[in-house]
Structure 1
Amino acid sequence: MNGSTSGVALLLSGGLAVGGIESAQAIVETATGWPGVGIVFAYSFLIAFALPGPSEIVLVAPLDIAPSRAVTLGVIVLTSAVGKAIGSLVAFHIGQEAKQSGPLIRWLERSRFDVVSWSQKRAVEIAQRYGYAGLALALCVPFFPDTISLYAFAVLEENYWKFAVATFAGSLGRLLVTLGVFGGAISLV
């Protein structure tokens, strides 16, 4: 098994729990070839519901799978957006289940950071004002942690398909905005 293949296995097996988000980011930053595309997918999938880190790190993966860096970045962006959209469906499902879990909601409401109140307030504002398009726009903001927002929105909404499309569009938008702002620095990597 080569380094990229073992990286996918490490990400998917939960082995990154030992080293945390830094280990997951290191795996992405060293992902090469077509197995590296699997690492980009796995990282993006996990970042949507389990990993508290920046999704933009996938843009520096040295995949070297196409004749130009632009094509490689296109593959990375699409793979990441699909992975994050599918991962967000896991968050959506968990959010739907959490609606039914009174003890979980009460525990979160009592938590020191009042995660439920803050995230629900923001998600409600977005949902009421812009609906799923608002979710997609909110997800376009680079380097803004979005996992809690995904969960909060998931608790408030019920349409899996619209949620997946919104998170795909938002993830795609986020990576394109990041490339637009930091493109020169990323293309040198």
Structure 2
Amino acid sequence: MPITALASLADLTLSLSADFSWLTSLVETATGWVGLAVIFVYSFLIAFALPGVSEIVLAAPLDLGLSRGARLALIILVSGAGKAAGSVFAFHIGHQTKESGYFEKALARLPVDVMGWTERKAVTIAQDWGFAGLAAALCVPGFPDTLSIYAFSVLEDDYLKFAAASFVGSCGRLLVTLVGVEAVLAFL
């Protein structure tokens, strides 16, 4: 991927992340079967471009005629699929930028050694845990997905395992969030 294409992608990412409150509002009000498409697209974008957290999809008031449990299970599966697809896209971008060296050069100009710290942590987790480490990192509620996804994307080579780990981690994150919220509500 040429450097100009990467710069354009960076500009697109910044413009998307600059004001995506409309998308968050869309997810929070998503209803019906179209709401599932909104959840998929939001989860896809969260995986590679948007800052923020993916847990917001659990608040989507989908009115599908399903029980609460079935509705939440469907949201989790659709969000996990969207995040896995977005992760594969980020995985591809990560490999392209790794080969071009553009990303590393840009980070090297920062006063803080972001690349060194991230790479050391990601390498340690990847070496110790492999794809299970990616899935575990993605299970942490509130932690930016894109950091884990891009860190692992430059270290690993298997698209299918990467997508599977992203799916499992994304679904796990939403389940951890639901259990946490239910536990808090039980004590109120």
Give yes or no for contact 1:116–1:152 (8 Å, CA) kept in 2. no
Alignment-mate amino acid for residue 51 of structure 2 = P
Residues 109-148 of structure 1 correspond to what in structure 2 (within 5 A)?
109-148=108-147
Change over 3 Å in CA distance of 1:184–1:58 after alignment to 2: farther
Q: Is the Cα contact below 8 Å between 2:16 and 2:49 reproduced in 1?
A: no
Q: 1:39 to 1:167 in 2, by over 3 A?
A: same
The alpha carbon displacement at 1:79 in A equals 0.1
Q: Distance in 1 between matches of 2:24 and 2:161?
A: 29
Provide the C-alpha distance between the structure 2 equivalents of 1:144 and 1:59, rounded to a whole number of angstroms. 16
Alignment of 1:1-189 (within 5 A): 17=16, 20-183=19-182
Change over 3 Å in CA distance of 1:106–1:71 after alignment to 2: same
- Shift, 1:115, TM fit: 3.0
Per-residue deviation, 1:47: 0.2
Unaligned regions of 5+ residues in structure 1, if any? Answer: 1-13
| Structure 2 alignment gaps of length 5 or more | 1-12
Q: Deviations over 1:67-112 (max 9, x none)?
A: 3121111110000000000000011000110111123311112224
Q: What is the one-letter code of the residue matched to 1:78?
A: L
Cα distance in structure 2, aligned partners of 1:162 and 1:138: 15
In the alignment, the residues of structure 2 paired with residue 86 and residue 93 of structure 1 have an alpha-carbon distance, to the nearest angstrom, of 11
Question: What is the alpha-carbon distance in structure 1 between the residues aligned to residue 152 and residue 26 of structure 2?
Answer: 30
Residues 131-187 of structure 1 show CA distances to partners (whole Å, capped at 9, x for unaligned) of 00111111111111120221111001111111001000000100001011113789x
Q: Which amino acid aligns with 1:147?
A: T
CA distance in 2, matches of 1:19, 1:107: 20
Equivalenced residue count is: 172
Counterpart of 1:176, as a letter, is L
Tell me, in whole angstroms, the C-alpha distance in 1 between the residues paired with 2:100 and 2:80: 30
- Separation in structure 1 between the aligned mates of residue 86 and residue 129 of structure 2, nearest angstrom: 22
In 1: Cα distance, 2:17 partner to 2:52 partner: 15
Aligned to 2:9: none
Distance 1:19 1:132 in 2: 31
CA offset at residue 18 of structure 1?
8.4
Q: Which segment is superposed worse, 85-94 or 175-184?
A: 175-184
Moved over 4 A (4+): none
Question: What is the distance in 1 between the residues matched to 2:102 and 2:134?
Answer: 27
Of 116-125 and 136-145, deviating more is: 116-125
TM-score normalized by the length of structure 1? 0.84
